[in-house]
Structure 1
Amino acid sequence: MKSTYKYIYILILALTTSCQDPFELTRNDIITEDVVFEDETLANAFLADLYERSLFQLKGGFADNNVNLINSFGGEARNFAPWQGPFGSVIGPVFNEQGAGSLNYWPYELIREANVFIESLSLSTSLNEDFISVRTSEARFLRAWAYFEMVKRYGGVPLVTTALSSNASDEELLVPRNSEKEIYDFIGSEMDEIAVILPSQPTELGRVSRWAALALKSRAMLYAASVANFGNQQLDGLLGFPASEANSYYQRSLDASNEILTSGPFALYNKLPDDKVRNFIDLFVDENGNPEVIFAEHFDATAGKGHNWDRFAHPDGFGYEWNSNFPVYLETLELFDFVDGRSGKIDRTLYDGANLFDPEDYFGNRDPRMRASISYPGMPLRGKLTFYHHSTTFTNPETGLRETSESPTFVIPGSNGWLAKAPSRNVDAGGNPTSLQIRKRMDESLPEPGPGELSSTDYIIFRLGEIYLNYVEAAFYLADPNGDMQARMNELRDRAGMPALSIAEITEDKIRQERRVELAFESQVFWDLRRWRIAVEELDLVMRHRMRFDYDFDAGQYTIQISDGDKGRLRSHPERNYYYALGLSRIADNPNLVENPGY
């Protein structure tokens, strides 16, 4: 999509720079609306700008290092340096009456432009009717997405579906908040209406289809159901839902998910069924007929739209000048159980720096999704090994004595390249590394990079794996109305290489764990913890831990120690943070807005 729109932008420039008498008073550097919405190319360019400005993933920060912000808020991982937003703005601060901090999002300029597009294109007298209906439906999706991003943060917000004139009265401009329920109902009804208009297959990469609309409905209605089920009504109904309505939203989510699962042209990615780890790795980077992707943000570095994920995610020692940027916590590792059914949570008293752990079991026998999602000590990568250990103890073949080395340049004799200590940014860097890092979404097929080289891997917004999880969660609370909750759960686990669960084993806790494992580092866990209303117990003043690995070369095993993972800092998520403050400045600008409780 990006490359197509680049040429549209060039065409717009050409249209706006024609020759003109310098004394002619009529400007020719502005394209008027009556021209834009009567020209297919210009209308597409307008819509392309809306796509580009939509918040499909958080960016910002130096070199867009905020791409890991939501994962950091969710306690899954963080960035290595306190000056980066996903560390400094996440760990420690309590959001106050000033607003939502680094999570702030109030995109009414984008919503106004979407409203302009929807209204104006609908009045076109020369464009094809199908073109008009499909393109306006795409804009309605983007508008609904903007409201979804706001309702997750603030609850009810002003619902504006017309393009307000600059000459509008204060009464028209100072719009009060709609209820949280009204926003979710709007999203659901919009997706119902546009799903029957949008094509099954998008005309270009990065455009939404009917399945993307159903996927948004599946996710948004599940969020609404959770708020009704686990939250409380506040501000005279402005926030929250009646608990009695939870099942109706679970049902709407279930129905949308079921339509995708039974009628959609998708399948769980399973091109390498005999290699569960590589299969799950490839799911996020394979753009050659990937059957699991429902909707993705398209990237093309050659067309001017690239990203730095691979630079950030690659461990030190693989050619990227900026690397090892996403440390993962012990608590995240513990979510991944073992393939033989053992819990992923090891008795922490064993992490005493003396007990030996066999990496073939400790890492190799865990849920394959762990090895596909997390970089770990001894991990094979690009024909080499990835090192995260602080020292190596070995028997010196010359003296026969046991020795310990902490030199990152010393190679253990007879080891075929085993470094006594990992490269600096994997284990040092001011004490910030956790000795685990995010691996998911890392494209290991890229050539050795040059300085500042950007990547083009698409960012998956909706995929079938999530729809399975949405379906199972909704089915659980509805008492499995279609009788296939267990089958759906086990289809997903079988793809991952994990043993099937009995119906009795599919509990609320197990469903949540499965979701946190399958969707790890996909910027969803944080929002899940909030909608389940367990973010306070999971995140508020709860310490996360880092790991220290030391290698015994003779035994081929590691000793492990754990310590505070954030240099003495703690996250905060008090009860009031389930709804962030609109902020004093917005209240001052619009006195009809009511602030959220606790601010």
Structure 2
Amino acid sequence: MKTFKYSFLLILVFLISCEDVLDIKPIDRIAENVIWDDPVMVQAYVTNLYTRFPYDAFNQGGWYCWTDEGTTSTGNSSIVTLGSINRNNEAAGYWNYTYIRDCNIFLERIASAEIDQNIKKQLEGEVRFIRAYAYFEKMKRYGGVPLVDVVIDPFKPIDDKYLVRAKEEEIANFIDRECTVAVALLSDGTTPRGKINKWTALALQARANLWAASIAKFSTVELNGIVGIPSANANIFYKKASDAANAVIISGKYSLYNAIPSNKEDNFRNIFVTESNDELIFVRPYDGINFGHNWDAMMAPNQWSVRGGMGNPTLDFILRFENADGSVDAPVFGPNALYDEGRGPFKNKDPRLFATVFFEGDAWGNGKVQTYEGLDPSINPTPSAIIRNPMLNHEGVRTSGLDSRSQTKDDYSTNSGFLIKKYVENVIFGIPENQS
């Protein structure tokens, strides 16, 4: 009996002494209560939101295939028409609310966080901007969406208002209010490249309100306001957009890029490839370490990239550009309409067209873009005399261009005769497949 009692006491003492050993903290995650009182952890939370920011222009370079703006060199002229995208398979991922929920969690917890008040204000302003931007991306694609601005407990009854789509105008007004709050919270000084400041929020406020105004003026209200904004409210949104944009302009913090005033084409193209110019209000810094893309490698003409020529604008897209004087006309095409360069039929167009699209014969790198599919060696040009054999030359000139489909024999060349130039770096030597 004594032996049993002693054994029991030893076990009890052992269990008590092991309590601290068994009560260990997980090493593969951070407890939530640890985050909100540590300024480093709070900043890390916001940095994670920046990393997942809903801007994916380069990595989703095929957006133009969702419309009539362009096709890919593989022939996907319209992803929607082909049935690759439908209501049950929405590849863009903007309907998902995980990102919104993470913003809501931050905004709910930051109020009681034991950190410096100035840091708290700045970070709250950044996240309010981020949430507003996320809703703007939703509104652009779907109109009205469920407006969830609180953290929903999935284990409790959910208020019906969070389960139904709000009117598009309600979403537009929410974005405007969030930007107003963000402007009041954010610093108006210089912030590190890629960080949100007061002027970033004003720029979003201008853009989102201009979008809403355009929807009101040029669209119609459907589904009881879930899609569309009443036309009577167009001027209200225009005024908000104008006020926000004017605040940025008169601040003197930014100015239009005009480094090459004598060449409007090159000036426009360089806005997007010149780092740290005065027109950039908010950018994602692609440094090849934290963020990267392969836009140049995928879009450059085949002569300069082993996987180039993937983006092919349509003729419809090109014709949408007005002439430089604001007029509109239709180019002349046909066997009797002869031009000495690819941009010939469009020579009167706005220079921004030629900064956006590659045409046959454009100077680039250490040569010229060659998308032509045949050569007419006769003295009097006639369509029936065109030679398209990629193996033949005529007086030292290839009968089909180096960037043409006849030469590449694969999907890395244009289907439409045109290539995307916007955002592509002008390099003398080729772009490696895994670089940009």
TM category (shorter chain) comes to 0.7 to 0.9
Contact 2:71 2:78 in 1 (8 A): no
Shift of 1:278: 1.9
Q: Any residues of structure 2 matched to 1:416-455 within 5 Å, and which?
A: 418-423=397-402, 425-426=404-405, 429=410, 433-445=415-427, 448-453=430-435, 455=436
Task: Measure the CA separation in 2 of the matches of 1:170 and 1:342.
Answer: 55
Q: If you compute each CA radius of gyration, which structure gives the higher value, 1 or 2? A: 2
Task: Measure the CA separation in 2 of the matches of 1:227 and 1:357.
Answer: 40
Task: Measure the CA separation in 2 of the matches of 1:426 and 1:439.
Answer: 18
Task: Measure the CA separation in 2 of the matches of 1:152 and 1:452.
Answer: 32
Question: Which residue matches 2:246?
Answer: 258
Q: Any residues of structure 2 matched to 1:137-176 within 5 Å, and which?
A: 137-171=125-159, 175-176=163-164
Matched to 2:137, the amino acid is E
In the superposition, relative to structure 1, how do residues 190 and 171 fare at CA in structure 2: closer, same or farther (>3 Å)?
A: closer
Shift of 1:104: 4.7
2:388 is aligned, of 403, 406, 409, to: 406
Task: Measure the CA separation in 2 of the matches of 1:363 and 1:239.
Answer: 37
Aligned residues: 409
Shift of 1:410: 4.5
2:98 is aligned, of 106, 109, 116, to: 109
* CA distances 1:486-543 after superposition (whole Å, capped 9, x unpaired): xxxxxxxxxxxxxxxxxxxxxxxxxxxxxxxxxxxxxxxxxxxxxxxxxxxxxxxxxx
In the superposition, relative to structure 1, how do residues 338 and 228 fare at CA in structure 2: closer, same or farther (>3 Å)?
A: closer
Contact 2:147 2:162 in 1 (8 A): no
Shift of 1:117: 1.2
- SS of 1:327's partner is strand
In the superposition, relative to structure 1, how do residues 107 and 315 fare at CA in structure 2: closer, same or farther (>3 Å)?
A: same
- SS of 1:78's partner is strand
Question: Which residue matches 1:32?
Answer: 31
- SS of 1:392's partner is coil
Task: Measure the CA separation in 1 of the matches of 2:264 and 2:405.
Answer: 26
Task: Measure the CA separation in 1 of the matches of 2:231 and 2:84.
Answer: 29
Matched to 2:110, the amino acid is L
1:387 is aligned, of 364, 370, 378, to: 370
Matched to 1:49, the amino acid is N
Task: Measure the CA separation in 2 of the matches of 1:88 and 1:134.
Answer: 42
Moved more, 175-184 or 363-372: 363-372
Task: Measure the CA separation in 1 of the matches of 2:94 and 2:189.
Answer: 30
Moved more, 361-370 or 251-260: 361-370
Task: Measure the CA separation in 1 of the matches of 2:84 and 2:291.
Answer: 34
1:119 is aligned, of 94, 97, 108, to: 108
Matched to 1:335, the amino acid is R
Shift of 1:370: 1.8
Task: Measure the CA separation in 2 of the matches of 1:173 and 1:235.
Answer: 17
Task: Measure the CA separation in 1 of the matches of 2:84 and 2:378.
Answer: 51
Contact 1:333 1:344 in 2 (8 A): no
In the superposition, relative to structure 1, how do residues 344 and 197 fare at CA in structure 2: closer, same or farther (>3 Å)?
A: farther
Could you state the TM-score of these two structures normalised by the residue count of structure 1?
0.62
Task: Measure the CA separation in 1 of the matches of 2:349 and 2:324.
Answer: 6
Uncovered stretches (5+) of structure 2, i.e. residues with no partner: 1-19
Shift of 1:193: 1.6
1:77 is aligned, of 52, 67, 70, to: 70
Matched, 1:372 2:359: no
- SS of 1:248's partner is helix
Question: Which residue matches 2:259?
Answer: 271
Matched to 1:334, the amino acid is L
Contact 2:268 2:355 in 1 (8 A): yes
Question: Which residue matches 1:305?
Answer: 291
Contact 1:335 1:344 in 2 (8 A): no
Matched to 1:314, the amino acid is A
- SS of 2:377's partner is strand
Task: Measure the CA separation in 2 of the matches of 1:356 and 1:392.
Answer: 13
User: Percent identity over the alignment?
Assistant: 27
Shift of 1:147: 1.1
Contact 1:324 1:426 in 2 (8 A): no
Task: Measure the CA separation in 2 of the matches of 1:395 and 1:259.
Answer: 62
Contact 1:408 1:424 in 2 (8 A): no
* CA distances 1:31-85 after superposition (whole Å, capped 9, x unpaired): 12232222222222211211222211356xxxx4x3231x233322221214x6x
* CA distances 1:242-282 after superposition (whole Å, capped 9, x unpaired): 33222111111121122222324221111111222222221
